[in-house]
């Protein structure tokens, strides 16, 4: 019975989304049926575009995972956008400026430093929350803008390529970039690193005492505290891990795709991560599904824009609609208990 209920629910969502899509496609003057063909063909049509799903999905998996982990611990990290940039910047500094190290060490170092930089950046918000009781939502948003501008300063000064004079860093040497797996596509090893991290975070959160404590802090900080579980400890852990994951998203995007530091290269994947986490109900094991579906929609919509002149901003409208529908369903089915607790 439960399976039937879930199936009908999913069906309703799909139908609603299809209705919105048809409306949008028709509004832009294209034929919905042929546009759908282009959409599907854009995804499965060739090796390159199919692999592109995983390329676009990789940073989203990591930022989505970062948000899911933080939200489960009751730490509202909206700052994955900034942590992404700080991680990428740290990785760029290590791989470009530490040339005295052998390439392997520079790659490993970039990952470690990128993780730490992102984690410490989000720890600022955790510290302000714990010490001064300041809302982490606001602080992480402010930190996003500081980080974005910080990258801007960096590519105009200490990380600028002196040869080009453009606001960007030098190109990473080939031996410090992440290898590609399928020739002729951009699919790189970072995707599997992201999947491994999903498994790791799932294991930590669901199967270890550490993760149990974090979840408890998220569910009921008061109960955690009176049972001798440190709320501060849980929040610090969540902030460090979540910021670190977002930082790694930046590291991987830098070392596998962009290969140089420049402004605006996150393409908002930090903010999207928040919504990915919500679609995955904050469960680490569902994050890759949500992220890859979103990435597939992006790839297909890009093809529609190229070939049928349907604006690809349609994807943003659809994901906005999905989240609103999810929230509305939670409201209408009265899943919020009378005590006002939210699912974490």
Is residue 168 classed as helix, strand or coil in its secondary structure?
Answer: strand
Q: Give the number of other CB atoms < 10 A from CB of residue 51.
A: 20
Interacting positions 275-304 with another protein (CB under 8 A): 275, 278
Q: Could you tell me the smallest distance in angstroms from the CB atom of residue 127 to another protein?
A: 10
Q: Could you tell me the smallest distance in angstroms from the CB atom of residue 48 to another protein?
A: 26
Is residue 163 classed as helix, strand or coil in its secondary structure?
Answer: coil
Question: Per rule CB under 8 A, is residue 228 in the interface with another protein?
Answer: no
Q: Could you tell me the smallest distance in angstroms from the CB atom of residue 317 to another protein?
A: 4
Task: Using the minimum distance from each CB to another protein, give the nearer residue, 248 or 277.
Answer: 277
Q: What's the CA dihedral at 37, 43, 46, 49 to 10 degrees?
A: 140
Q: Are 69 and 241 in contact (CB under 8 A)?
A: yes
Question: Per rule CB under 8 A, is residue 143 in the interface with another protein?
Answer: yes
Q: Could you tell me the smallest distance in angstroms from the CB atom of residue 319 to another protein?
A: 6
Q: Between the CA of residue 140 and those of 78, 212, 235, what are the distances in Å? A: 6, 25, 14
Q: Could you tell me the smallest distance in angstroms from the CB atom of residue 27 to another protein?
A: 6
Task: Using the minimum distance from each CB to another protein, give the nearer residue, 60 or 78.
Answer: 78
The encoded tokens of residue 113 equal 């430093």
Interface residue with another protein among 50, 87, 142, 195 (CB under 8 A) is 142
The mark string for 47-86 relative to another protein (x by CB under 8 A, - otherwise) is -----------------------------x-x--------
Q: Are 197 and 84 in contact (CB under 8 A)?
A: no
Stretch that binds another protein, among 52-60, 187-195, 246-254, 267-275 (CB under 8 A): 267-275
Q: Could you tell me the smallest distance in angstroms from the CB atom of residue 198 to another protein?
A: 21
Distance linking the first and last C-alpha atoms of the chain: 26
Size, binding site for another protein by CB under 8 A: 55
Task: Using the minimum distance from each CB to another protein, give the nearer residue, 76 or 191.
Answer: 76
Question: Per rule CB under 8 A, is residue 26 in the interface with another protein?
Answer: no
Interacting positions 93-122 with another protein (CB under 8 A): none
What is the C-alpha separation between 286 and 198, in angstroms, rounded?
A: 9
Interface residue with another protein among 128, 189, 195, 289 (CB under 8 A) is 128
Question: Per rule CB under 8 A, is residue 327 in the interface with another protein?
Answer: yes
Question: Per rule CB under 8 A, is residue 173 in the interface with another protein?
Answer: no
DSSP annotation string for 200-239:
HHHHHHHHSHHHHHHHHHHH-HHHHHHTT--HHHHHHHHH
Comparing CA positions, the residue from 285, 253, 247 lying closest to residue 66 is 247
Question: Per rule CB under 8 A, is residue 267 in the interface with another protein?
Answer: no
Give the DSSP letter of residue 343.
-
Task: Using the minimum distance from each CB to another protein, give the nearer residue, 62 or 276.
Answer: 276
What is the C-alpha separation between 201 and 115, in angstroms, rounded?
A: 14
Contacts of 203 (CB under 8 A, 6+ apart): 211
Q: What angle do the packed helices 269-279 and 231-252 form, to 10 degrees? A: 120
- Compute the radius of gyration of the chain from its Cα atoms: 21
Q: Could you tell me the smallest distance in angstroms from the CB atom of residue 227 to another protein?
A: 20
Q: Are 118 and 250 in contact (CB under 8 A)?
A: yes
Question: Per rule CB under 8 A, is residue 156 in the interface with another protein?
Answer: yes
Question: Per rule CB under 8 A, is residue 132 in the interface with another protein?
Answer: yes
Question: Per rule CB under 8 A, is residue 200 in the interface with another protein?
Answer: no
Residues making contact with another protein (CB under 8 A): 24, 27-29, 76, 78, 128, 132-135, 137-139, 141-146, 149-153, 156-157, 271-272, 274-275, 278, 309, 311, 313-321, 323-324, 327-328, 330-332, 336, 338-340, 342
């Amino acid at each position: 019975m439960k399976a039937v209920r879930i199936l009908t629910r999913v069906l309703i969502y799909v139908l609603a989304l299809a209705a919105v899509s048809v409306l949008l496609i028709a509004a832009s003057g294209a034929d919905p049926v042929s546009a759908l063909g282009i959409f599907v063909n854009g995804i499965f049509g060739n090796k390159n575009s199919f692999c592109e799903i995983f390329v676009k999905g990789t940073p989203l998996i990591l930022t989505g995972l970062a948000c899911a982990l933080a939200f489960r611990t009751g730490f509202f990290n909206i700052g994955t956008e900034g942590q992404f940039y700080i991680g990428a910047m740290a990785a760029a500094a290590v791989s470009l400026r530490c040339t005295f190290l052998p390439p392997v060490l520079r790659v490993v170092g970039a990952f470690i430093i990128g993780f730490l930089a992102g984690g410490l950046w989000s720890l600022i918000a955790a510290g302000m929350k714990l010490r001064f009781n300041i809302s982490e939502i606001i602080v992480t948003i402010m930190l996003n803008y500081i980080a974005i501008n910080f990258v801007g300063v960096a590519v105009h000064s200490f990380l600028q390529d002196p040869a080009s004079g453009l606001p960007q860093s030098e190109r990473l040497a080939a031996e410090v970039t992440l290898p590609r797996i399928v020739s002729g596509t951009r699919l790189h090893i970072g995707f599997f690193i992201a999947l491994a991290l999903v498994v790791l975070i799932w294991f930590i959160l669901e199967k270890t005492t550490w993760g149990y404590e974090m979840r408890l802090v998220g569910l009921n900080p008061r109960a955690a505290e009176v049972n001798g579980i440190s709320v501060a400890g849980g929040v610090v852990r969540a902030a460090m891990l979540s910021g670190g994951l977002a930082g790694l998203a930046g590291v991987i995007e830098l070392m596998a795709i962009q290969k140089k530091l420049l402004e605006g290269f996150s393409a908002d994947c930090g903010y999207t991560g928040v919504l990915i986490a919500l679609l995955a109900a904050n469960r680490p094991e569902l994050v890759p599904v949500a992220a890859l579906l979103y990435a597939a929609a992006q790839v297909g919509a890009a093809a529609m824009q190229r070939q049928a002149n349907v604006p690809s901003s349609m994807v943003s409208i659809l994901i906005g609609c999905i989240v609103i529908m999810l929230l509305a369903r939670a409201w209408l089915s009265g899943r919020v208990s009378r005590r006002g607790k939210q699912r974490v």
